[in-house]
Every structure is written in structure tokens, then in C-alpha cells.
Amino acid sequence: MKYLQLGVCVVFLLVWPKLAVAKKDILTVSPKVCVVSEQQEFCDLDLEFALNMPYKMDVCLYHEEQQLQCWQQVTTERFNHKARVQVETIYSLVNPHTDELLATTRIEVQSTRAKTTRRRLRSPWSFF
């Protein structure tokens, strides 16, 4: 009985990390960051999405509530998309039959120019 429990624990420890890594790498995007010269500017990107599903399934790619593309019985796929972003943007991969969220990825927008306001180093009530 001890050996059976030990065997189950070993199998669980070997399989569990692979499931966690597989879920993390289901949806990737490139590039992940866009740099603009001024804040509030738009950034035009040619995004490349890569899907790497653990097994064949139907999936749809969404930006906010807008459906971009759907695939049937896919395991690996590449998809190019032109995007215009101004703020951090999140893309989601969803199972269309169950509405289950399978993965998300995001595009960050960063400015080269620093903010003009500075944070106060001391509290206004400090005597020193």
C-alpha cells in the first residue's frame, strides 16, 4: 500500500508541472511592448500570435469583447493581426462552446518621455 501511494505521488509530481507550463504557453504574442515618444499617442503594431494547445480543440481569439479569429480542432497555429493601441491591451483565448477562458496575453505601451509631475519626497506636515 505504501508503494502505491508513493507511486501516485511521484506520478502527480511529474505530471503537474507540465500541465502548469502548458497552460502558461498556450497563447503568446510578439511584440509584447510598444514604445511611443509621448504619452497618449497611438502605437501601430504588426502582432504575431502563436497558439500551442495541449490537444485539439475549438478556440477563438478576442480583443476586449471583439472576436478576431476562430479555429476548429487546432493544436498549433500562427495568426498575424494589425493593431493600434494606446494603453495596455489584453487579448484572450476562449473556448467558444463553454466560454472558458483558456489563456490571456497583453501588450504594454510605454512612453520614452518621463511624466512632468514629480512625487513629493516628504509629507507636507513634516518639520524636517
Summarised one tens digit per residue, pLDDT across range 23-34 is 558 888 888 888
Q: Output b/e per residue, 37-47; b: 16+ Cβ within 10 A.
A: eeeeeebebeb
Topology of domain 24-111 in CATH is Immunoglobulin-like (2.60.40)
Domain residue ranges in the chain: 24-111
Q: Note the pLDDT of residue 13.
A: 47
* Alpha helices (H) in the chain, listed in sequence order: 2-24
pLDDT per residue as tens digits for the range 76-128: 999 898 988 878 888 999 999 999 999 999 888 887 775 666 666 666 676 66
| The predicted structure's pLDDT at residue 72 | 93
Q: Is the pTM of this model over 0.85?
A: no
